[in-house]
Each structure stands twice: as C-alpha cells, then as structure tokens.
Amino acid sequence: MERAGSFPTVRPRRLRTTPAMRRMVAEHRVHPADLILPAFVREGVGEPVPIATMPGVVQHSLDSLRKAAGEAAEAGVAGIMLFGVPEEEKKDAVGSPGTDPDGILQRGLRAVRAETGDALVVMSDLCLDEVTDHGHCGVLDARGEVDNDATLARYAEMALVQAEAGAQVLGPSGMMDGQVGHVRAALDAAGHRDVSLLAYTVKYASAFYGPFREAVNSSLTGDRKAYQQDPPNAREALRELALDLAEGADLVMVKPGLPYLDILRQIADASPVPVAAYQISGEYAMVEAAAERGWLDRERAIEETLTSFKRAGADLVLTYWATEFARRWGRDGR
C-alpha cells in the first residue's frame, strides 16, 4: 500500500531515464541475423531499374544482384529471398520460365550462391505469378479459374530446378491447398532432403501488395481472393498452420506484417517451428512516402516497425530495409 504523502513510490520512469538505461531493460531487439532481404532480378537489363513505387528498391541486373547479396552478407543479414522477373515475351499460361534451368530466377540463384557461398541463406520464391502471362499464382482451368492440383504439379517442377540452382530455402507462396506436402515429396524423391521449406502459411488477399505488382512486372488482371486468405478471418490462419506443419514445413510465414500483428502473435504462440513476418511493399512504400514529405522520422519509423514484428513473436523479418538496418545496427554498436 502507498503511504499517505509518499505517492508515488512506484515509478516506471526510473527505467527510462537514459539511452543506456532503456537499452539495458529493452525486452525486444532486432538483430541483423533476424533479417531477410527480398530482392528482384530482372532478365535482359544491364543496369538496375528503379521501382517508382518503392523508392530505393530496384529490379537488379545479375551484376547488381551479386553486389547487393555481397553487401547483405557483409552487413550480417541472415538471408536473401529472390524473385525473378522474366522478359514479357517469355511468359505463358503455365509459367515456363519458372521451370527453365536457365530462367532468370535460376540464374540469379546461381549468381548469389557463387558470390556469397554459405555466408547468406539463399531463398527463392516458389510461385507462378511472376512468370505467367495471366499473372495468377497457378495454372488456369477451362473456366479461367486457378486449378489447385494442376498447379501443385508445376510447383514440384519449379522446386526441383530452384534446388538444383542452389536455393537452400524455397518459399511456396501461392496459397494452394497441399503445396507444402507436394513440394516436400518432390524434393525428397529427387534427393534434395536438405532443402528447407518456408511456407507462406498465412497470406492475406491484401491491398498492401500494390507496389509489388510493379516490382515483378505483374500481368495480373482481377484479384487473388479465391486462394489467398480473407482479411476478416483469424481462426483460418491456425488451420493453415496445422496443415503446413503436418505437410513438413520447416518455417512458416505471416504476410503482410503490420496489418496482421494479431495473427502473427497467434501463429507465434502456436508454432513449434520458426516464424517469419514479411514487411511487404505497401508497408515499405507508406513509410518512404511519409518520410519523403517530412511527416515522420524515417529511421525511427523503420526501427519501430521492425521491433513490432519481434514483439509480436516473429523470429525472422523479410524487409527491404534489411541491409540498411543491419549497417546502422553495426554503426551504432548495438
């Protein structure tokens, strides 16, 4: 009990008095080893191509991709997730560039592995949206709808060429039922038992993907609401988690990040495997746009958003600021 005249004796502010004090009692920290850098590699370009809706992010040439991967490794970033952007005329209804051993994603994987070896965990996006002329994450049936089971067969083929190109982690991101188990079986049958699967377990049909469409030169018309998760639903996320774990997922992901911190917390509480959050293009673009207008402190906003993922339970965060933040972490001696 407080004694009369002595209030307040309990003063939480005592632990907020100096930067050193706040650092000492911080409950959550973001470390470079928690971060994964998403990167785009574009076919047919000799120089990086800026992405207008994502200031500071580019579609890499193979040479600039090698440089970016080396810089990420040097900064202490944990991994890099590659997305391939083929030439438009090579796209078709079944996403042939995705299974071409010489497709741009596979060439990018080989280039990064040659540049960084095992200093960086090399990951690849396992989906058809970047390589189909219709822009959907799967092959279409006669009615123009995504055929779940026919798509699984294509994912299995893609998984093999990505593994053979040097990917250490594959990210099945299309939200097809059974995708993790089907890809796992194909990898194991081909002898790729050490290749891990980062399941896009909870991927919502979100408005925040907008800038990503430019980043991968998307051909999509319509939407992906028939296969990505519906934003109002939460219990469904736990059902997806149970299925992916049963099918052999090594890591799981929640995407987007900031609008779904409540879902991230539920997945983190329930998951026996590491959990990632993807800070997606729209989240990145909002901060960059507001900072450019002087509406917020950019560096503080970046750190605050990344910390929110850790506080909500993420073990890993995919963020376009990965290398920048890791360098600042080293500079500030945290």
Query: Which among 67, 91, 203, 225 is annotated as catalytic?
Result: 203
Amino acid type, 329: W
Amino acid type, 227: Y
d(CA 16, CA 18): 6
Longest dimension (CA), the chain: 80
Distance of CA 210 to the CA centre of its chain: 15
d(CA 160, CA 191): 10
Is the C-alpha dihedral spanning 243, 199, 169, 315 positive or negative? Answer: negative
30 phi, psi to nearest 5 deg: -100, 125
* Pairing of the two strands 49-50 and 35-42: unpaired
Residues 114-120: contacts with CB under 8 Å, at least 24 apart: 114/66, 115/66, 115/69, 115/70, 116/69, 116/70, 116/73, 119/73, 120/69, 120/72, 120/73, 120/77, 120/78, 120/79, 120/80
CB 101 within 8 A of CB 107: no
- Which DSSP category does 1 fall into? -
d(CA 159, CA 126): 7
Q: Does the active-site annotation cover 90?
A: no
Q: Does the active-site annotation cover 67?
A: no
Catalytic sites, residue numbers: 203, 255
